[in-house]
Amino acid sequence: MSSTVEQIKARLSIVDVVGNYLKLEKAGANYRTRCPFHQEKSPSFFVSPSRNSYHCFGCNRGGDLISFVEEIENLDFLGALKLLADRAGVPYQTPDPKLASLKDRLYAVLEAATRYYASALAKNEPALAYLKSRGLTDETIKNFRLGWAPDSWRQLGPELLRQGFKTGELVQAGLLVSPPAGTGKSPYDRFRSRIMFPIADSVGRIVGFSGRIFGQTDEETAKYVNSPETPLYDKSSVLYLYDRARGALRLNDRAILVEGQVDAVLSHQAGFGETVAVSGTALTRDHLLLLKRLTNNLIIALDADLAGVNASKKAIELALGLGLEVKIALLPSGQDPAEVIGRDPEEWRRALAAATHVIDFLLRTLKQKFAEPRPLAHAIEREVYPFIARLASPLDQAFFINQIANLLGLEETVIREGVKKVSNESNQSDRPNSPSAATVEPPPAPPNRRERLAEIILGITFWSSDPELKKMVEGRLGEELLAEFELKYAPRRAALGLAAEVAYQASTKLIAELSELLDYWQEENWREELNQLLLKVRQLGTAPPETIGPLLTRCQELSEKINNLKKI
């Protein structure tokens, strides 16, 4: 594995890897940008080509190109390694399932299930005929690895057990269901009589399934059954076909969001590889952050009425709040993208090309619906203000406020106050109540000034190759204390070194500045000792002079040292 890591780092620069996700600007020998892991207005996220590492001085995240991909793609180490190996053209061998960890075993069993379902579909003529009637070609069915779960309670399980997997692994992967304890029954297949859509993580590893019922007419049977939450599958953070859409999302600088798996597959088949879908849940903040890493433009396909927007209101508000440009692609009433594409892919292309900003769509729709100014004004207040309040850009807010004012013939201040009121109400409702807030653990205390000075001093020694600097630090701290500090700060060596480089790379008086930092550090040490001694003197109160005397003498010595140090 180490050779794979070394080959990846030899072929890929961290600047290129991070630059695929973020817009970097030069900052001396390094690069900087706003951190993707927390909200900030000014850039505190630095990338160092010389160290092949990154660090954010706002949230303290840092590491190499592999840990960056782990963080930004929400992947484990092996997933990040596979993605980077593919990008670098480095051979990557999947670990032997017999020797792998639990997660790797689950990936392996889900991959085996995908092959089994695909093989079963190839033998099921009615299911194949249904998919082709929806417009899917043989090539698409094979390429997207669609499958069939036979109408049997125990067929997949025994087959995978024969391949060497264990019952517990099949249950943990969400493929089998364990009956209630005491029934004496063995686990049974979760998916039965269903067309199977494998769901992959962002590097293409299967993590779950969505199964559409086929061949049954029982009204009580759910149309769709999705994998449960597992160690691999979190429906709130996985988008269907995101792994296949990544390149097109970046290339076309937009994401097309549809509701169903067939919608998404057909859209890809029609040439729109930037299409994704949710599976078994509403669109979440984590879904949107996945998209925002690659594009700021989102198109949502909806019916040509207010009902579709209202049904997606929360998702749209989340997207606007994250700074995404949200547009609506209008579809004929009651039709989904699969029906439109099946009838005429060109009609789908035209709908996407004509997509308009959600607020423009609402204003146009409401204007057509309400002829009188007063009902129109109230409708806009009810339907549009919440979206304007969520806009991340003040410029966008001002634009739409001006547009509404002109439409209604009102002063902009009236509209602005209305939007502000909605924003305040929304913020109040989003605020956590005190009981739940009390359960949140407080963040760790930030380092005090003495600790922070030690971090800066050690950072300079980690960064600079000048032996005089280290010699100065060793002379002031002592060999033993310096060794103790180097051991303490070793895990943060790269981050502290990068911080020092960013702060002092342009300095022409580094030795003088380091000397001053050492003086400050020494002063903080003496002050801390002095405060502790004074506290001890107060606690001793009326103790005999032979007890308090030496303490007071040391306090006087420390005060003189502090005063003399200030005069230097």
* pLDDT tens, position by position, 149-197: 999 999 999 999 999 999 999 999 999 999 887 777 889 999 999 999 9
pLDDT of 39 higher than 80: no
Confidence of residue 435 (pLDDT cuts 50, 70, 90): very low
pLDDT of residue 566: 55
The three-point CA angle 340-346-349 to 5° equals 85
365 & 473 share domain: no
> What does the pLDDT look like over 99-142, one tens digit per residue?
456 788 899 999 999 999 999 999 999 999 999 999 999 999 99
Which residues in 426-444 are b (16+ Cβ under 10 Å) and which e?
beeeeeeeeeeeeeeeeee
For residues 71 and 77, give the distance between their C-alpha atoms in angstroms, rounded to a whole number: 10
Task: For residue 418, give the CATH number of its domain.
Answer: 3.40.1360.10
How high does pLDDT run on average in the chain? Answer: 85
CA distance 462 to 477: 16
Helices (H), 12-165: 14-19, 65-73, 77-88, 102-122, 125-133, 138-143, 156-162
Task: Examine residue 553 and state whether it is found in any structural domain, yes or no.
Answer: yes
Is residue 440 included in any domain, yes or no?
Answer: no
Last residue of a domain, one of 88, 111, 128: 88
Q: Report which residue type is found at 311.
A: A
Give the pairing type, strands 325-331 and 297-303: parallel
DSSP characters for 428-473?
Answer: HHHSPPHHHHHTSPPPPPPP-HHHHHHHHHHHHHHH---HHHHHHH
- Look at 501 and 141; give whichever has higher pLDDT: 141
Question: Confidence class of residue 477 from pLDDT cuts 50, 70 and 90?
Answer: confident
Last residue of a domain, one of 428, 457, 482: 428
When pLDDT is cut at 50, 70 and 90, the band that residue 436 belongs to is very low
- Statement to judge: residues 211 and 116 lie in one domain: yes
With respect to residue 434, please indicate whether it lies within any of the assigned structural domains. no
Q: Are residues 127 and 193 in the same domain?
A: yes
Least-confidence region, from 56-65, 184-193, 332-341, 382-391: 56-65
Same domain? For 375 and 281 the reply is yes
- Note whether 168 and 251 are same-domain residues: no
Instruction: Say whether pLDDT at 59 is over 90.
Output: no
Question: Does the pLDDT at position 297 exceed 70?
Answer: yes
Q: Whole-angstrom Cα distance, residue 153 to residue 134?
A: 28
139 and 68 within one domain: no
298-317 pLDDT, tens digit per residue, is 999 876 567 777 778 888 99
Buried/exposed 272-308: b ≥16 CB within 10 Å, e otherwise: bbbbbbbbbeebbeebbbbbbbbbebbbbbbbbebeb
pLDDT in tens, 14-30: 998 998 888 899 988 88
Domain final residue, candidates 39, 66, 88: 88
Residues 140 and 203 in one domain: yes
Reported as a single tens digit per residue, the pLDDT across 206-216 is 999 999 999 87
User: pLDDT, tens digit, for every residue of 367-425?
Assistant: 998 989 899 999 999 999 999 999 988 999 999 999 999 999 999 999 999 999 988 87
Q: Is the pLDDT of residue 443 over 50?
A: no
- Asked if residue 442 is part of any domain, the answer here is no
CA distance 250 to 23: 13
> Greater confidence, 358 or 490?
358
- My answer on whether 210 and 358 are in the same domain is no
Residues 222 and 286 in one domain: no
SS3 346: helix
- Rounded to whole angstroms, the Cα distance separating 310 from 403 reads 22
pTM score:
0.69
Q: Please report the pLDDT score of residue 502 as a whole number.
A: 66
Domain with 389, as residue range(s), is: 245-428
pLDDT classification of 445: cutoffs 50, 70, 90: low
Q: 245-254, 349-358, 477-486: lowest mean pLDDT where?
A: 477-486
Residue 127 in any domain: the answer is yes
| Mean pLDDT confidence for 244-249 | 90
Extract the tokens encoding 13.
């620069």
Q: pLDDT higher for 145 or 331?
A: 145
Instruction: Say if 443 falls within a structural domain.
Output: no
Q: Are residues 373 and 260 in the same domain?
A: yes
Q: pLDDT of 504-523, one tens digit each?
A: 766 777 888 888 888 888 88
Confidence of residue 544 (pLDDT cuts 50, 70, 90): confident
Whether residues 222 and 254 share a domain: the answer is no
Q: Which residue has the higher pLDDT, 455 or 2?
A: 455
Which CATH number fits the domain that encloses residue 191?
Answer: 3.90.980.10
**List of E strands, 231-296:** 255-258, 275-277
Percent of the chain with pLDDT over 90: 42
Provide the CATH number for the domain around residue 18.
Answer: 3.90.580.10
Mean pLDDT of 520-546: 83
pLDDT band at 7 (very low <50, low <70, confident <90, very high): confident
In this prediction, residue 94 carries a pLDDT of 58
User: Averaged over 495-509, what is the pLDDT?
Assistant: 73
137 and 202 share one domain:
yes
Closest CA to 283 of 248, 323, 243, 314: 314
Residue 93 banded pLDDT, cuts 50, 70, 90: low
Give the model's pLDDT for residue 437. 36
Q: How many domains does the chain have?
A: 4
